[in-house]
Amino acid sequence: MKAQNVLKIVAVVAVLALLSCASAGKQFDTSHVNDIKKGSQDKDQIRAWFGEPYRVQAISGSPLGCVERWTYTHAFSSFGGAKTKTETLVVDFNKRGKVCDNAYLEQ
């Protein structure tokens, strides 16, 4: 193979690497983020709006009485990392399974 052809192949591979995309977490619908109200929704409603959480963990010592945390997160990077978007929703539940706290961050 000629050196010129090898250089062309290397250039094409480099461009494709720069334009590639990466994703982490699990994409979720954000249309109901502002509808979450403390004490109103339960786990079934949150699951219906956002799907299964990316992570579930027990929590303790919450001044609001929260005992379980559901985390939804999705990160997407394209153009070799030049364009990155991260969405994270955290929903905490009390012993009765009702929302006791929540936070949403988009970067």
Residue 17 is predicted with a pLDDT of 47
Joined together, the tokens standing for residue 14 give 């480099």
Residue 8 is predicted with a pLDDT of 61
Amino acid at 46: I
Task: For domain 21-106, give the CATH number.
Answer: 3.30.1450.10
- Reference 66, options 36, 94, 97; nearest CA is 94
Could you tell me which residue, 7 or 22, shows the higher pLDDT? 22
Model pTM above 0.85: no
Residue 93 pLDDT exceeds 70: yes
pLDDT, one tens digit per residue, over 18-75 is 445 676 778 888 999 999 999 999 999 999 999 999 999 999 999 999 999 999 999 8
Could you tell me which residue, 85 or 39, shows the higher pLDDT? 39
